[in-house]
Amino acid sequence: MNGRDGVVVSPIGRVVATERRPNTPHEFHFWTALDATVGIGTIVRVVGAHPVGGQLPTVYGVVVEGYSYTDLQSPLHDVLGHDGSPARAAFAATERTEIRLYTAAVLRHVPEEPLQPVPMGEVFLADDADVACALRMDAYLRDGSNTGIPVGVYHAGGTDAPIYVDADFLLGPEAAHVTVTGVSGLATKTSAVEWLLASIFTHFPASKGTVAAVCFNVKGPDLCFLDQPATELSESDLALYAQLGVPPRPFARVQYFAPYTARGFALNTLRTHEALAHNTMPLVWGLQDVMEFADVLLTREDIDAKADALIDFIREDVVGHRFTDDRLPRTYEVQSFSDLNAWFADVLRTMEQSNVESWRTHHIATIRKIRNRLSNIAQRCAGLVTNDGISRDLPWGSFADRTVYVIDVANLEEDAQDLIFARVVSTLRKRLEQRDLGVDHVIVFVDELNKYAPGDGPDTYVRKMLLDVAERGRYLGLVLFGAQQFRSQVHRRLIGNAGTSLFGRMDGDELATPGYAVLSPAIKTKLATLEKGQLMVRHPHFTQPVFVRFPRPAVLSGREGAERFPRSAEPSLEVAVTRSLRVLDPSITLEWVKQVTGIYEPHEILRARTQTELARPNDVRAFFKSQFRAVVPGRTVTRPPVPPALRSAPVDDPYGT
C-alpha cells in the first residue's frame, strides 16, 4: 500500500477473527510477524478489503493486550521432545511455529457510520497523521482554530507523534481539571504538572484569554525552584522540547509566598536562600482576612447553631465595622485579633457586672467558648495570622498572565494549611466570578488529594471547597490540577469531574482496585512498570488511553535546588530585617539596622519591617525609621539638692530618741 507521501508501506499485521474470538465494533485482533515493532499502547490502522458505501473502511485502534503461543498442545509435548532437558531444546533444529496475537481497542472508525465490526484487513503502524486522526485531534488542530496543548510524544514502531489535548477540555469551558496519579518518589506527578504548565503557558491560545497558576507546595522543596533552570537536560529531552514546541526554560514569572515562622523573623519555607529573596514574599493575614474562614479552623463540635450565630454576628457587625452598644463602655473598631480580644473582654465584663447570662441573645457560655476558639487562631497559625491586623497577601486583582504563584505550605501545621487552601481558593473563585482577578483562567495545583479530598472521612471545609471547584470551577475559569498517589482514595466526584487524567507508574495494589477494571491486564502491567517520563493520558477526545513520553521539566528539581540553595538557619531579628529591607534597598547594612532598632521591642521592629515592605517607599531608610514611635531623649538624672538638716537634739535630752 502507498503511504501518504507515496512511499510503499508494508503491513505489519493482519486482522483475524474466529467464532470463539470474534471482532466487534470496539475491539479486534490481529497477528504480526515475530519481529514487528508492536507493543502494548501501539496505535495501528486497519484498512478493510471491501468498500462500505463506496468507501474502504479504515479503523484505528490501540493495542491493549498481547498473546504469544505455539502449535504445542501440551507443555508435556515439549518435555518429551527434548527428553526432559531444557538445555537440549536449544539444539533443536527448528523452532516451533509461534504467533504474536494482539487485541486492539478501537479508537475511531472512518467513516463513523455505519458502525460495523472491524473488517478483516491489513494492519499498518500509525504514522503522525494516523495518530492525529485516531485520537480525534484533527478536530482541534485545524489552522486558525488550533487549541492543542502538547502533552507528550507518542512513541512506537518508529513513529514519534506529538500528542495534544484540547485546551477547551483542559481549562474549560467544555471540560476541565486534571488528575495525576502515580507512586511517590519517581518524579512523575510533580514533573508532569510542571511540564504541562510550561506547555499550557506556551501554547494556550491568546484568543482564549490569559492564564496563571497557583501552586500549593505541600511537601519538601518540590515546587520551590520553578524559576531556576534545570542542571542539565539530556539530548532526548531537548529533542522532545523541540518537537513539542516548548522552550526548555524555567518559568519566566514566578512569585513565592510563605508565612513567617512562629518567631516571625524568617519565612517558613525551604526557599530562604538570600539569592532567591527577590521573589519570595511573606503571606500574612489579619483578622479580617481570616474571619470569613473561621469555620475552617473550628471543629464540628465547636460549631453548633449558637456558636454559628455568634460567629456570623461578629463577622457581619463587629469585625471591620464601627460597633457601639449601650451597655458597652465605648465604641469599637475591631481590625485585629488584639482589638477583638479587647471587645470580648468588655462584653464579658459588662455581662458579669450586670449579672446577666445573655447579651444580644448570645449566652455567656457561647461567648466565652467562641472567644477562646477565635483568640487562639493567631497562636495555632502563628506566622500566618498576625495579631496586629497587617496583611501581606497574594496580588489579588493584579494576577499576571503566564505567571506561577507558589504558596509554600509544606512546613505548616494542618490548621494553617487548611486555612490557606480555603481562603486562597475561595478568593480565586470570588474574584473570577467578579472578573477582577487579573487573568481569565487560573490553574490551582494541589498535591496529595488523598489527604485534602479523601473519599471517606469527615466532610471538611477544604474538601467541600475542592469539590465545588471540580464541579463548577470550569465555568469560571478555575481549574484544578490535582495529584495523588492513590486515585481510588480520592473523592469520586472530584475524580469524575476531571476531564483529563494522567497516570505515571502505578502501585500494583492501587491497580487492583475496582476503578481500574476497565483497563486490560496488559495495560495495568505496563502502568506498573512505566519508566520516568512516561504517562498514560486519558482525555475526552481520546476513546482509549494513550501512552506518551514527556521531557524532564526545565526547572531545577527540588532536591537539586535544596543542595544548591541551602536553607538558611533562622536568622536573628536584625539579620532578618536587614535581608527584607535589602530587597528594597541593597545599600542597607546590618549595622544600620542594629543602630535603628536597638532600643525597640521585637514586635515593633517586625511591624516596621512589614509596613516598609508593604509601602515599598523610595527612601527605604527614612520610611523604616519613621515607623518607630518617637522616644524622648535621655536625660541625666541629678541628685536633688539636700535641704538643710534639722538641728540635732542634745545628747542628754531624754526625749531625743
Q: What is the contact surface with other proteins in residues (CB under 8 A)?
A: 34, 71-74, 77-78, 80-82, 88-89, 92-97
Find the shortest distance in angstroms from Cβ 95 to other proteins: 5
Residue nearer to other proteins on the CB measure, 96 or 330 = 96
- Min dist CB 63 to other proteins, Å, is 23
Identity of the residue, 50 or 647, whose beta carbon is nearer to other proteins in the bound complex? 50
Beta carbon nearer to other proteins, 17 or 400: 17
Side chain identity, residue 580: S
> Could you give the CA distance from residue 122 to residue 445 in angstroms, rounded to a whole number?
45
User: Any idea what DSSP says for residue 315?
Assistant: I
In the complex, least distance from residue 231 CB atom to other proteins, rounded to whole angstroms: 46
Rounded to whole angstroms, how far apart are CA atoms 406 and 424? 11
Neighbours of 141 (CB within 10 A): 15
Q: Distance between CA 240 and CA 354 in Å, rounded?
A: 77
Question: What backbone torsions phi and psi does residue 620 show, to the nearest 5 degrees?
Answer: -65, -40
Nearest partner of 380 among 328, 324, 330, 337, judged by Cα:
337
**C-beta closer to other proteins: residue 78 or 292:** 78
CA distance 123 to 125: 7
CB of 86 to other proteins, least distance (A): 12
CB closer to other proteins out of 100 and 380: 100
What's the closest the beta carbon of residue 18 comes to other proteins, in angstroms?
13
Question: Residue 75 or 158: which CB sits closer to other proteins?
Answer: 75
CB 387 within 8 A of CB 381: no
∠ at Cα 299 (294, 300), nearest 5°? 110
Radius of gyration for the alpha carbons in the chain, expressed in angstroms and rounded = 34
Least Cβ distance, residue 9 to other proteins (angstroms): 21
User: Which amino acid type is present at position 343?
Assistant: W
Q: How far apart are CA 233 and CA 552, in angstroms?
A: 7
Residue 414 grid cell: 494542618
3-state helix, strand, coil in the chain (%, to 5): 35, 20, 45
The least distance separating other proteins from the CB of residue 80, rounded to whole angstroms, comes to 6
Give me 631's grid cell.
522616644
Alpha-carbon distance of 443 to 177, in angstroms, equals 8
CB of 99 vs other proteins, minimal distance in Å = 12
The distance of Cα 575 from the centroid of its chain, to the nearest Å, equals 32
- Number of Cβ atoms within 10 Å of the Cβ of 507: 16
Judged by beta carbon, residue 85 or residue 231, the one nearer other proteins is 85
Nearest residue (CB) to other proteins, 92 versus 110: 92
Phi, psi (degrees; rounded to nearest 5) at 140: -125, 15
Minimal distance, residue 79 CB to other proteins, in Å: 10
- Taking the least distance from each CB to other proteins, the nearer of 92 and 252 is 92
